[in-house]
Amino acid sequence: MRLKNKSRNLTTIRCYPGRRCSFSVLLWSIVGCLVLLNLYCFIFEKDAPHGGAHLRINQHQHFRELEEVEEDNIQMPPPRKRSARAVKRKPKRPTTLIEEFLDEASQLRHVFFPGLRTAIDPCRSSGNDTYYYYPGRMWLDTEGNPIQAHGGGILHDQRTKMYYWYGEYKDGPTYHAHKKGAARVDVIGVGCYSSKDLWTWKNEGIVLAAEEHNETHDLYKLNVLERPKVIYNEKTGKYVMWMHIDDTNYTKALTGVAISDLPTGPFNYLYSKRPHGYESRDMTLFKDDDGVAYLVYSSEDNSELHIGPLNEEYMDVTQSMRRILVGQHREAPALFKHEGTYYMITSGCTGWAPNEALAHAAESIMGPWETIGNPCIGGNKVFRETTFFAQSTFVLPLPELHGSFIFMADRWNPADLKDSRYVWLPLRVSGPVDHPLEYNFGFPLWSRVSVYWHKRWRLPYRWQEIN
Ligand code: GAL
Q: How far apart are CA 163 and CA 94, in angstroms?
A: 41
82 pLDDT tier (thresholds 50, 70, 90): low
Decide whether any atom of ligand 1 lies within 6 Å of the 352 Cβ.
yes
Q: What percent of the chain has pLDDT over 90?
A: 70
Q: Which architecture, in CATH terms, is 56-70+96-466?
A: 5 Propeller (2.115)
- What average pLDDT is seen over the chain? 87
**189 Cβ below 6 A of ligand 1:** no
Sorting pLDDT into bands at 50, 70 and 90, what band is 435? low
Q: What does the alpha-carbon distance between residue 144 and residue 120 come to, in Å, rounded to a whole number?
A: 10
352 Cα: distance to centroid of ligand 1 (angstroms) = 6
Residue nearest to atom 1 of ligand 1 (CA): 351
Q: 413 alpha carbon to ligand 1 midpoint, in Å?
A: 12
Q: For atom 4 of ligand 1, which residue has the closest CA?
A: 351
pLDDT digit string (tens) for 448-466?
Answer: 999 999 999 999 888 888 7
Closest CA to 114 of 86, 134, 130: 134
pLDDT of residue 28: 76
β-bridge mates for residue 260, sequence order: 239
**Contact, 191 vs 170, CB < 8 A?**
no
* Ligand 1 lined by 282 (C-beta under 6 Å): yes
Phi, psi of 446 (to 5 degrees): -125, 160
Distance CA(26)–CA(342), nearest Å, equals 35
CA–CA separation, 409 vs 421, rounded Å? Answer: 9
- Residue 224 Cα: closest atom of ligand 1: 10
In the structure, what pLDDT confidence band is assigned to residue 96 with cuts at 50, 70 and 90? confident
**100 CB within 6 A, ligand 1:** no
Q: Which atom of ligand 1 is nearest to the CA of 347?
A: 8
Q: Does the C-beta of 151 come closer than 6 Å to ligand 1?
A: yes
> Between 345 and 446, whose confidence is greater?
345
**What is the band of 299 on the pLDDT scale with cuts at 50, 70, 90?**
very high
Instruction: Give domain limits for the chain.
Output: 56-70+96-466
Angle, CA of 184, 189 and 191, to the nearest 5°: 110
pLDDT at 439 over 70: no
* DSSP state at residue 181: S
332: Cβ below 6 Å to ligand 1? yes
**Residue 242 Cα to ligand 1 middle (Å):** 16
- Distance from Cα 351 to the centre of ligand 1, integer Å: 5
Measured by CA distance, the residue closest to atom 12 of ligand 1 is 351
Ligand 1 atom nearest residue 151's Cα: 9
- Nearest-angstrom CA–CA distance, 138 and 148: 10
CA 129/CA 51 separation, integer angstroms: 37
Task: Identify the pLDDT of residue 442.
Answer: 55
State how far the Cα of 233 lies from the Cα of 231, in Å rounded to an integer.
Answer: 7
Count of alpha carbons within 13 Å of 239, Cβ hemisphere only? 24
Strand partners, 95: none
Q: What is the pLDDT of residue 64?
A: 79
Residue 301: how many CB atoms within 10 A of its CB?
11
- Residue 391 alpha carbon, nearest atom of ligand 1: 8
Ligand 1 lined by 67 (C-beta under 6 Å)? no
Q: What is the pLDDT of residues 184-230, one digit of tens each?
A: 999 999 999 999 999 999 999 999 999 999 999 999 999 999 999 99
